[in-house]
Amino acid sequence: MPKLLIVDDEEHIRFLYAEELADEGYEVVTHDSGDQLLEMIEAEKPDLVVLDIKMVDYNGLDLLQDIRNKHYDLPVILCTAYDTFKEDMKSIAADFYVIKSFDLTELKNKIKMALETAMPQ
């Protein structure tokens, strides 16, 4: 079962995502900030990260760069309430982005696509 890491500083979002994605058959772990995120990834070895862009003390786009530099091929989906972040070219290092919504259909589709992505080794 693929393991997803949800990174968001809002507790209700983490709860919602964890519940709904667990219902889809994923193993879900959560983290509430950018603090110790790389260590968390190292320890949990997720198959995919769902990353909030705007957290109180962290910029998700900077965290995305940190993740990319250490974990070249780890799929990352950016989540945000606003789409203005796309003006920042850093966002292109994400596999996908979704606008936050209580309807998780788009997020679920993107997770499926990201996990299906196949690259010959």
Partner 1 sequence: MPDDHYEENPLNISEAEMVVAIPSYREAELIGYPASQAALGLKQYFGDKKYVLINCDNDSDDGTKEAFFAADTGDVPQIYISTPPGVRGKGNNFRNLFRKVVELGARAVVVVDADLKSITPRWIKHLGEPLFNDFGYVAPLYVRHKYDGTITNSIAYPLTRALYGRRVRQPIGGDFGFSGELARIYLAATSWTEAVSQFGIDIWMTTLAMNNNIPICQAYMGRPKIHKPKDPGSDLGPMFSQVVGTIFDLMVHSTGYWMRVKWSKPTAIYGFGLGEVEMPPPVKVTEDALVAKFHDGLKQYQEVYPLAVSEPLLIKLREISEMPMEHFDFPTQLWAKVLYDYACAYKTQVVEADELLASLIPLYFGKTLSYVRKTASMSVQQAEEFIDNECVVFEETKPYLLERWSA
Question: What are the φ/ψ torsions at residue 101 (nearest 5 degrees)?
Answer: -155, 155
Shortest Å, Cβ 83 to partner 1: 9
Binding mask 27-66 for partner 1 (x = CB under 8 A): --------------------------------------x-
Interaction between residue 105 and partner 1 (CB under 8 A):
no
Between 14 and 63, CB nearer to partner 1: 63
The C-alpha atoms of residue 85 and residue 74 are separated, in whole angstroms, by 21
d(CA 102, CA 67) in angstroms, rounded, equals: 26
**CB-wise, 16 or 74, nearer to partner 1?**
74
- Amino acid in the structure at residue 57: D
